[in-house]
Structure 1
Amino acid sequence: MRPEEQPEAPSGPWRAASAFTMGAVGLLCKGFLTGLSRVETHGMEGFLKLLDEREHVAGRERGLITVSNHISVMDDPILWGILPLSYLFTPDNLRWGLGSYDLCFTNKGLSTFFSFGQVLPTHRSVHSQFGGLFQPTVTQAIRLLSRGPFLHEHDAPEKASMALKSPDMIDPFSNGHLTFSTNGHDTFPAPSAYLSRRHAWVHIFPEGMIHQSEDRIMRYFKWGVSRLILESEPMPDVVPIFVEGFDHIMHETRTFPRFIPRPFKKVSVTFGDKLDGEDVFGDLRARWKQMRANEEKKGGRLEVGVLNEALKYSEEAVALRTECTRRVRQAVLDVRRQRGYPEDDPKNSLAATWLREGAGREGRQEDGSITKET
């Protein structure tokens, strides 16, 4: 694409529909929290100051990652109902999330709604052969956090052994060419192709599934968050968040009507301080950049978010992701400790610890906690 054809933003109608969707959902969540719940927040002033600093896209210098524990199917979007009203109708300064493909993108209606709602279609490995750490949606998230725009896609699966139903989601008010595929068959808008989305805000639940326990114990964190931190350019801001009480709004043991959130519950959202990225992750990013530079010398330049086999699976790459993910989890644990919870058992940070779930990944576990795929 020639520079003069490079779009600043999606079409006007698309932006209006997105603002309406984000705002309407935000209003519903805010109404539920303020009118039918007891809400307390901690540290939100600092977070709102950070959002204010990011209000104008042209002035942003880096992306923003928020990361939290995951305790109910409604954590997102209800969580963002705590934001002041003035923030709810500005999609360019609101979060992008990762939503389960097999739940949120099963037909064109749902795909349209969640695309307007700034949710990226994400395959889960337990449900799809296209899931995992290196799927194209993770590339989109990395590029949203980076400067961009990124106009060319080279990360769709080269060969798809089965054809899935395609939502064929494009911007009907433009020429629709700025798209990407999650599996080689479907079509979704590529948000990282627009200047207005550079250095965006991405929220992630690294546990990858709901985990409800009385002691607010967290599962191990999956490595996707490490890719966002190691590969985005420049280093994004990272804000850890710890949430409580949303599990009472949508507890996994709830009976009929299951789809209705339970009112009159107490919820709490605690924002940690923005992490000093260079202090917390600088050494890991330096090692990653050196690895990447060495691989590019061998095989040529790699686009942002695109990896060769060595950068995916080598021992050093795995070690970097493991350590990066451990540090992210520790940052959320630090916020958890502020809320008066005891120190976490180090074994909880290990995937091997949770293998005891075996085939019964969902439902009540031996320790009394409840897990659910989301």
Structure 2
Amino acid sequence: MVYNIKWIIPKLRNPTKLWNIASSITFVAVGIFSKFIIELLNKTRVHNKHILVRALNRKGNTPLITVSNHHSCFDDPGLWGSLNLKHLLCRRRMRWSLAAQDICFTNVWYSYFFMLGKCVPVIRGEGVYQEAINFCLEKLASGDWVHVFPEGKVNMLKENMRLKWGVGRLIMESPITPLVIPIYHLGMDKVLPNDPPYIIKAGKKVTMYYGDPIDFSGMVADLRANNATEMDARKAITDRIQDELLRLKTITEELHARF
């Protein structure tokens, strides 16, 4: 039986003051826990961290999208455990994240926890026009940060998978073309393995590599000027992201091997 999640996004659209307080407490608890796991229990090297820090301090209403590979259920929040506390513990600055409905939103208690952590339930197979993508477009219009795992699932075999086109729609249809930062990481599946009993490990090595921001403004303008179809536009944008993640994969693998 599939748990009904239709109530979740309407609730996320209309948070109360009490909800925001509870969400802030959730971010503090999860943020400190993640930092403890990533920086104290394990050995983590972060390359080009300044790229994301600069983006989090951006001025104006420019939205931010981060994209990364997905090797473990601990990728989020583990990726953000290396951030400075002033960012990590600030709920308003932290990301919205698309999360699998069939993993993170399977009952009311899980749903509330992930909702308080600014996770949005995405339904596999529902395509790019589902409500989760619409909601993230609203957040981008407000200048917020949205994180996407464009592989669409935990890539346990670390294959070169075709990325899902939802991120292409987010970039193409955002009222202001977002700043897009690609991230590649290795070792997170050693910290939290994908096999039972799913216990956090210590003493593992994690490498994170932040790539240079991708400026899509020119591509988006060209696609619009050439009257590209929605499908062609989404594919072109997603292919550009895929090329960059594959480039970062090679760099990160070399750095991780020397760690």
Query: Fold match, TM over 0.5?
Result: yes
Match of 2:21 in 1: 16
How far is the alpha carbon of 1:247 from its aligned partner? 1.6
Unmatched segments (≥5 aa) in structure 2? 1-13, 255-259
Instruction: Provide TM-score, normalisation by structure 2.
Output: 0.86
1:141 maps to which of 136, 150, 157: 136
Matched residue type, 1:115: M
Distance between the aligned counterparts of 1:338 and 1:261, measured in 2? 26
The 8 Å contact of residues 61 and 199 in structure 1, kept in 2 or not, is answered as yes
Instruction: Name the SS of the counterpart of 1:91 in structure 2.
Output: coil
Cα 1:281–1:265 shift into 2, 3 Å = farther
Distance between the aligned counterparts of 2:56 and 2:231, measured in 1? 33
How far is the alpha carbon of 1:276 from its aligned partner? 1.9
Match of 2:7 in 1: none
With a CA cutoff of 8 Å and minimum separation of 6, indicate the structure with the bigger relative contact order.
Answer: 2
| Deviation digits for residues 172-220 of structure 1 (CA, Å, limit 9, x no counterpart) | xxxxxxxxxxxxxxxxxxxxxxxxxx1110000111111234xx54311
Matched residue type, 2:51: G
Match of 2:201 in 1: 262
Runs (4+) off by over 6 Å: none
Distance between the aligned counterparts of 2:230 and 2:171, measured in 1? 13
Point out the structure with max Rg over C-alpha.
1
- Structure with greater proportional helix content: 2
Match of 1:205 in 2: 149
Distance between the aligned counterparts of 1:40 and 1:110, measured in 2? 31
How far is the alpha carbon of 1:317 from its aligned partner? 2.4
The 8 Å contact of residues 193 and 199 in structure 2, kept in 1 or not, is answered as no
Match of 1:240 in 2: 182
Instruction: Provide TM-score, normalisation by structure 1.
Output: 0.61
How far is the alpha carbon of 1:283 from its aligned partner? 1.8
1:38 maps to which of 34, 43, 53: 43
The 8 Å contact of residues 65 and 238 in structure 1, kept in 2 or not, is answered as yes
| Deviation digits for residues 130-180 of structure 1 (CA, Å, limit 9, x no counterpart) | x2221111111111111xxxxxxxxxxxxxxxxxxxxxxxxxxxxxxxxxx
Cα 1:285–1:30 shift into 2, 3 Å = farther
Distance between the aligned counterparts of 1:286 and 1:78, measured in 2? 40
Cα 1:141–1:286 shift into 2, 3 Å = farther
Matched residue type, 2:48: G
Residues 106-145 of structure 1: pairs in structure 2 closer than 5 A: 106-125=106-125, 131-145=126-140
Cα 1:218–1:281 shift into 2, 3 Å = farther
1:336 maps to which of 232, 242, 249: 249
1:277 maps to which of 216, 235, 240: 216
2:57 maps to which of 28, 33, 52: 52
Two-structure CA RMSD over aligned residues (Å): 2.0
Distance between the aligned counterparts of 1:282 and 1:267, measured in 2? 38
Distance between the aligned counterparts of 2:184 and 2:221, measured in 1? 24
| Deviation digits for residues 248-278 of structure 1 (CA, Å, limit 9, x no counterpart) | 12233x44xx231221110011111111222
